[in-house]
Structure 1
Amino acid sequence: MKVLLIGSGGREHALAWALAASPLLQRLYAAPGNAGIAEVAECVDLNVGDHEAVTAFCREQGIELVVVGPEAPLVAGLVDHLEAAGVRAFGPSRLAAQLEGSKAFTKGICDRHGIPTARYGRFSDAAEATAYLDRVGLPCVVKADGLAAGKGVIIAETRGEAESAIASLLEISDEIVIEEFLTGEEASFFCVSDGETVVPLATAQDHKRAFDGDTGPNTGGMGAYSPAPVLTPELCERVLKEIVEPTIRGMAAEGMPFRGILYAGLMIDESGPKLLEYNTRFGDPEAQALMMRLKDDLLLIILAALDRTLDRISIRWRDEVALTVVMAMRGYPGAYDTGSEIRGLDEAGEDQDVMIFHAATERTPDGRLVATGGRVLGVTALGKTVEEARSRAYAAIDRIDWPEGYCRRDIGWRALARLVDERPEEDD
C-alpha cells in the first residue's frame, strides 16, 4: 500500500516510524516531512494547504491512503477534498474537526449532550466579556475560539490579567470563550472512532509550561509520558461513558459523524473527569510516547476505522511506561534563532529502548543536521517504571551535543510524586 503522511513535526515522525513497520506498507511519502522522517519515508515538497496539489500528487503516485497528522489541514477540510476526489483519507471531516477548530462549538456539543465541562460564556464583544468576569470569578481561563497553535489559552489570576487576555485574544479570534478555572490533575485520553464505534487507545500526561516546576510560559508541550497513573481503569470507563461516547453519538446525530483520532483533554478532581478540550488528532509530544507503546499495526487500525470495522479488532499496548522529553531552541516559546547544528544523535540513540523523534530538523547539503524550529527533538524512552524511562531519556539527552538547545529536567514529576505518596509507610 502506498501511503502519504501529511505533516512535519514530532508527531508525524512518530506516526511515520509506526507506519513504516507495517507489512502492508509498500511505500511511504511525507509532505513536507523533516530530517528524521526522511529516514523512513520519501519527503516531498508539497504545499499541504493547496488541496488540489495534494490531490494531484496522490493521483500521480497512486496513493491509496492519506494520513493527516496536524490539526490545521483537518480544520481546513483536506479530508473532505481528498475523499470527494476518490482518495481515502484518515481524519475527521471539516465539520467534525470543529471539535478542535472551535472552542465554542465544542461547548455547544457539551451543552446539548450532557457532557461534563467547565461553566463558560461566549463573547465577541470585549465589554460583554469583561462584564462576565464578575459572574465566572477569578482565576478564570480565556480561550480564543479557533486554532492558535497552542497559544490561544490564557489562565488569568487577576482581573487585570483577564481583561488583558480578553483584549489580546479578540485580536486574533472573532470570538472567545471564558471558563471557570477547574482544579485537579490534567490528563489526556486518546481513542479512535469510525463514526459509530469508539475504541480506547491509551492515556498520557503532558507538560505545557516551558520550565521546571511547571513555571514559565505555555508551550506546545515540553514532554509527556504514557500511561497516566491518574486515569485508573475505573476513571477511563467513566471518561468513555460520560464524555467520549456521548460526543460520538451526538456528532452522528447532528450529521457530523466523527471518524479519526479523538483526544480528550481532561481535568480530574474528586468528583470525576471533566472535559477541558478536544483535539481531533494525536497530540504532540504525546504521540511519540504512544507510538513507542503500541504493539499492534497502526496501519491496520487506521484501515479498520475507515472500513468501519473497529468493533472487530482489539488494540494491544506495551506494559512499559514511555516518556518523551522535548529538546527546544533556547528562547522558545519566545524569539529564537534557527540553523544551529545538532551532533551526537547516533550515540544518544544506541539504547534499543530509546527513540529520538525529530520535530524541526533538516539536513544541509554537506550532511549536517540543523534545527529549524522551536521544538526540535522528542527524546523518548521505554522503562518498566516512570523513573526508569525518565532515566533512560535523560541519559540519551546528555549524549546529545547541542549547546543551543534546552529541555525541562522534571518530566514525569507528577507520576513520580504519586508513587511516593502511594508508597506504604515503613514501621519504626
Structure 2
Amino acid sequence: MKVLVVGSGGREHALAWKLGQSPKVTQVFVAPGNAGTATEATNIEIDASDVPALVQFATKNQIDLTVVGPEAPLVLGIVDAFEEAGLRVFGPSRAAAELEGSKVFCKNLLHTADVPTADYRTFRGSDDASRYIKDKYPEPNEPVPVVIKADGLAAGKGVIVCETRREALEAIDRIAGQKEFGDAGNELIIEERLIGQEASVLAITDGETIISLPAAQDHKPAFDGDQGPNTGGMGAYCPTPIVDEAMFERIESDVLVPVVHAMKRARKPFKGVLYAGLMLTSAGPKVLEFNVRFGDPECQPLLMRLKSDLFEVLYAAAEGKLADIGSLEWDDRPSICVVMASEGYPGSYEKGLEITGLAEADEVDDVKVFHAGTTLQDGKVVNAGGRVLGVTAIGNSISTAKLNAYTAVRKIRWQGAWCRKDISDKAIHGG
C-alpha cells in the first residue's frame, strides 16, 4: 500500500514515521514534507493547500490512502476533492472541518448539543465588541477575565487571554480592527475565562464508531510557568494524570459522543480526528475548542506510545469500518515532546540557520527528534519555521521521559534556539 501524508510539520513527520512502520505500507510520500521526513519518506514538492496538484499526484501514483495533517487544506475541502476523484482519504469534509474553521460555528454547535463550554457572545465588528466590554465592565481598572477569539484559522495565535479592560479592547482591535489575523477576524468571540488545567483528548471516528486516544496536555503559552503569548504549542506529554479513568469516561459521554451525533444531525457527518481542547474546571470538563486533525505537538508523544498499526486504523476509518478495529494497544510508559523554536517566535524570526547535533540527539535512548520547521539547504539542515523541532522521548516515568528529552535537547544547536524548560512539570509536581 502507498500512503501520502499532506503537510510539513512535526505532526506530519510523526505520522509518516509511524505509518511507515506498518507491514502493509510499501511507500510513504509527504507533501511538501521537511528535512526530517526526507530521511524516512519521499518528499513531494507540492504545497499542502494545492489541492488540485495533490489530487493529480495521488491519482497518477495510485495512492491507497492520503492522510491530511494540517487544518488549512481540510477547511479548503481537500477531502471532498479526493473523494470526488475516487481516492481514499482520512479526514473530515469541508463542511465538517468548519468545527475548527469557524469558532462561532463550533460554539453554536456545542450550545445546541448541550456540551459544556464557556459562556460567550459573538460579534461581527470591533465597534459592537468594544461597546459590549465597556458596558459590561464600566470601571477602567476592574478585572476583565475574558478570552477574545478570532473566528477563523489563525495558526493557533488568534486566541488572546485578557486580564484588564485595556487588554480586552486591544485584543478586539488587533483581531477585528487591524485584522492582524486577516479574514479570521471577520467575526470574533468574547467568552468567559475558565479556570483550571487544560487537557487534550483526541478521538478517531468514521462518523459512527469512536476510538478515543489517551489524554495529553499541551503547553500553549510561550514561556515557562505558562507565561507569555499563545503559540501553536511549545510541548506536550501523554498521558496526563489530571484525566483519570472516571474523567475520561465523562469526556467521552458528555463531549465526544454528543458532538459526533450533533454533526450527524447537522448533516455534516464527521470522519477523521476529533480533537477536544478542554479546561478541567471545578464544575467539570468544559470545551475550549475543537480541532479536526491530530494536534501538533500532541501527535508526537501519542504516536511514540502507540503500538497498534496506525495505517490499519486510519484506513478502516476512511472506509467507514472503524468498528472492525478493536482496542488500540499502547506502551504503558509516558512520553513527552519538547518543542525547540526559533529566536523571536511567536513573532518574526530569522530563517536559514544551520542546525547541528541532530544525529547525537537521536542517539539518546528512547528519543525521536521530529522535524517541524526545517528544510535542506546545500545538504545542511536549516530552520525554516518558528517551531523547528519536536524532541520526543519515552520513559518509565514522566520524570525519566523528561530527562531523556532534555538530554537530547542539549545536544542540538542553532543560533537563537530556545525552548520551555518546564514541559511536563505539571504532571511531576502537580498543579
Residue 246 of structure 1: CA displacement? 0.3
Give SS of 1:213's match: helix
Give SS of 2:213's match: strand
Residue 310 of structure 1: CA displacement? 1.9
Residue 251 of structure 1: CA displacement? 0.5
1:58 and 2:71 aligned: no
The superposition leaves residues 221-276 of structure 1 with CA deviations (integer Å, 9 ceiling, x where unpaired) of 11110001111110010001001100000101111100000110000022210000
- The corresponding residue for 1:332 is 345
Give SS of 1:405's match: coil
- The corresponding residue for 1:83 is 83
The superposition leaves residues 20-69 of structure 1 with CA deviations (integer Å, 9 ceiling, x where unpaired) of 10111011111000010011111011133232211111111111211100
**Match runs of 1:22-421 below 5 Å:** 22-133=22-133, 134-135=135-136, 138-170=144-176, 171=179, 172=182, 173-312=185-324, 313-365=326-378, 367-418=379-430
- Is the Cα contact below 8 Å between 1:121 and 1:132 reproduced in 2? no
Give SS of 2:295's match: coil
Q: Distance in 2 between matches of 1:417 and 1:132?
A: 40
In structure 1, runs of 5+ residues without a counterpart are 422-428
Q: Aligned residues, how many?
A: 418
Which amino acid in structure 2 is aligned with residue 260 of structure 1? G
Which amino acid in structure 1 is aligned with residue 164 of structure 2? T
164-173 or 60-69, larger mean C-alpha shift: 164-173
Q: Distance in 2 between matches of 1:68 and 1:342?
A: 27
Q: Distance in 2 between matches of 1:255 and 1:206?
A: 31
In structure 2, runs of 5+ residues without a counterpart are 138-142
Give SS of 2:215's match: strand
178-187 or 203-212, larger mean C-alpha shift: 203-212
Q: Distance in 1 between matches of 2:98 and 2:233?
A: 22
Residue 218 of structure 1: CA displacement? 1.3
- The corresponding residue for 1:425 is none
Give SS of 1:73's match: helix
Which amino acid in structure 1 is aligned with residue 72 of structure 2? A
Residue 347 of structure 1: CA displacement? 1.2
Give SS of 1:157's match: strand
Give SS of 2:13's match: helix
The superposition leaves residues 301-342 of structure 1 with CA deviations (integer Å, 9 ceiling, x where unpaired) of 101212222223211111111001111111111121111111
Give SS of 1:341's match: coil
- Is the Cα contact below 8 Å between 1:197 and 1:310 reproduced in 2? yes
Once superposed, what is the RMSD of the aligned Cα atoms? 1.3
Which amino acid in structure 2 is aligned with residue 130 of structure 1? S
Residue 109 of structure 1: CA displacement? 0.7
The superposition leaves residues 352-374 of structure 1 with CA deviations (integer Å, 9 ceiling, x where unpaired) of 40000000112223x21111111
Q: Distance in 1 between matches of 2:161 and 2:412?
A: 35
Give SS of 2:279's match: strand
- The corresponding residue for 2:140 is none
- The corresponding residue for 1:426 is none
Q: Distance in 2 between matches of 1:65 and 1:311?
A: 19
- Is the Cα contact below 8 Å between 1:343 and 1:402 reproduced in 2? yes
- Is the Cα contact below 8 Å between 2:374 and 2:388 reproduced in 1? yes
